[in-house]
Amino acid sequence: MHDPFAARSVIFSACGRKQRDRTGRQPAQITYTVTNGGHTAWTRDSKQDITIIVKRSEDDASCFSHFRNVRIDGKLLEKDKDYTAVSGSTIVTVKAETLEALADGRHTITLEFDDGKAETSLTIAAKDSRRSPYTSDSGTMIWLFALLASLAVLAAVRHMEKAL
C-alpha cells in the first residue's frame, strides 16, 4: 500500500535537527540574509543607532522566534542595553552608545539564530574635524572686493584712453 505521507515524513537526529526525509533527500538548508543595514558605515559622535533587518529563507514569519543574540567581533552584546530586537523578519537596532565604544575601522556583526546566522560588516569612522569654509568668510569677501576694485580701475583707464 502506498504511504501518502512518505514524502513528508522526516527522520530526526538525537538533537532534533532534520537529517533526511524517507526518500533520502536532505531538507532545504535554512539561510539568513541581511536585507537592510548591511555593510554599514557609521561616523563617531553622530549619535545615530544602526538598524539591521534579517530575513529567513523559509518561513520568514518565524524568523524572530529563532533569533538568539548579537555579537560584534565575537563579543556577545547585551539585549536592551547594547541593542534592541523586534519581529518583522528580525529587526535589530544597535545603539549609538555601543558603537561609540568600538575602535575606528572595520568590524563584523553576527546575528545568531538557533538554526543559523547572518553576518555583515560595520565600519566606524572618526568624526571629520575639518571646518568647511563659509561663503561669507571675511577672506573671501576681501578677494571679491579686490577683484571688483581692479575691474573698476581697468574700466576707468580704458574710458580715459578713448576720450583722448
Give the DSSP letter of residue 98: H
| pLDDT given at position 133 | 54
Q: Does residue 16 sit within a domain?
A: no
pLDDT of 160: 83
Q: Give, for all 164 residues of the chain, the pLDDT tens digit.
A: 444 444 433 333 334 444 455 555 666 799 999 999 999 999 999 999 999 999 999 999 999 999 999 999 999 999 999 999 999 999 999 999 999 999 999 999 999 999 999 999 999 999 876 655 555 555 667 777 778 888 888 888 888 888 77
Residue 40 neighbours by CB distance under 10 Å: 19
* Overall domain count for the chain: 1
Residue 144: predicted pLDDT = 74
- The whole domain housing 41 covers 31-125
Q: Say which CATH number the domain at 65 has.
A: 2.60.40.10
* 81 within domain boundaries: yes
Q: Is residue 61 helix, strand or coil?
A: helix
